[in-house]
Amino acid sequence: MHRLPSDAEAIWSRTGCYTWAETYANACRYGQFMLQQGVQPNRLVAMYMMNRPEFLFAHLGSWAIGSAPAWINYNLGGDALVHCLKVAEAQVIVVDEDAECRKRIEEVRDRLEGELGMKIVVLDQAQKGEISRMEPKRPGDEYRVGAKGKFPLFLFYTRSVVVSCLYGGVG
């Protein structure tokens, strides 16, 4: 198998570029962060995020702990948003710092926390700073033991339906 050099570019965005080594380190940090937030192996973590490097770090971080992301269309709001989160059965939602995303979440916060028992984590600059200061330690293999076979790689929710679901596990 051919491996790319760790210093080769893996992610390019308008906000910055990341090498494979930096992407791996950030995935490890985000995995540790998700564990601290209560994300459990073999469970989905909801991601209500725009297209930015942190979206990929969070996605890869969820795999690092044997979880999988439930991508929630960041344009959803109100009943459609609550419905998708209810179907996903995630206990934690990671929310983009974008003002409109935060506004839509705030509009249904009581329902998410009360009816669904969700923990809402906003990935703002302060939170990203805390994550970046974490040791990039790879989560142990024990977190990924059950994430095989029929466990999804991710689910994509839009307009109140599951659009895509890939299975195969992350272990």
> Model pTM?
0.89
> At residue 1, does pLDDT exceed 60?
no
- Considering its fold, how many domains does the chain have in total? 1
Whether residue 105 lies inside any domain: the answer is: yes
> At residue 171, does pLDDT exceed 70?
no
Q: Do the beta carbons of residue 82 and residue 116 sit within 8 Å?
A: yes
> At residue 116, does pLDDT exceed 90?
yes
pLDDT mean across residues, the chain: 90
Whether residue 4 lies inside any domain: the answer is: no
> At residue 163, does pLDDT exceed 60?
no
Whether residue 45 lies inside any domain: the answer is: yes
Q: Which range of residues forms the domain containing residue 116?
A: 11-169
Q: Do the beta carbons of residue 29 and residue 65 sit within 8 Å?
A: no
Whether residue 33 lies inside any domain: the answer is: yes
Q: Dump pLDDT digits (tens) for 123-149.
A: 999 999 999 999 999 999 999 987 777
pLDDT at 36: 97
Whether residue 2 lies inside any domain: the answer is: no
> At residue 164, does pLDDT exceed 70?
no
Whether residue 151 lies inside any domain: the answer is: yes
> At residue 159, does pLDDT exceed 70?
no
Whether residue 1 lies inside any domain: the answer is: no
Cβ neighbours for 87, distance < 8 A, ≥ 6 positions apart: 157, 162
pLDDT at 153: 78
pLDDT at 145: 86
Q: Dump pLDDT digits (tens) for 67-102.
A: 999 999 999 999 999 999 998 999 999 999 999 999
pLDDT at 161: 53
- Cα distances from 68 to residues 5, 30, 37, 146, 147, in angstroms, run 27, 13, 15, 12, 9
Q: Where residue 122 sits, what CATH number does that domain have?
A: 3.40.50.12780
Whether residue 5 lies inside any domain: the answer is: no
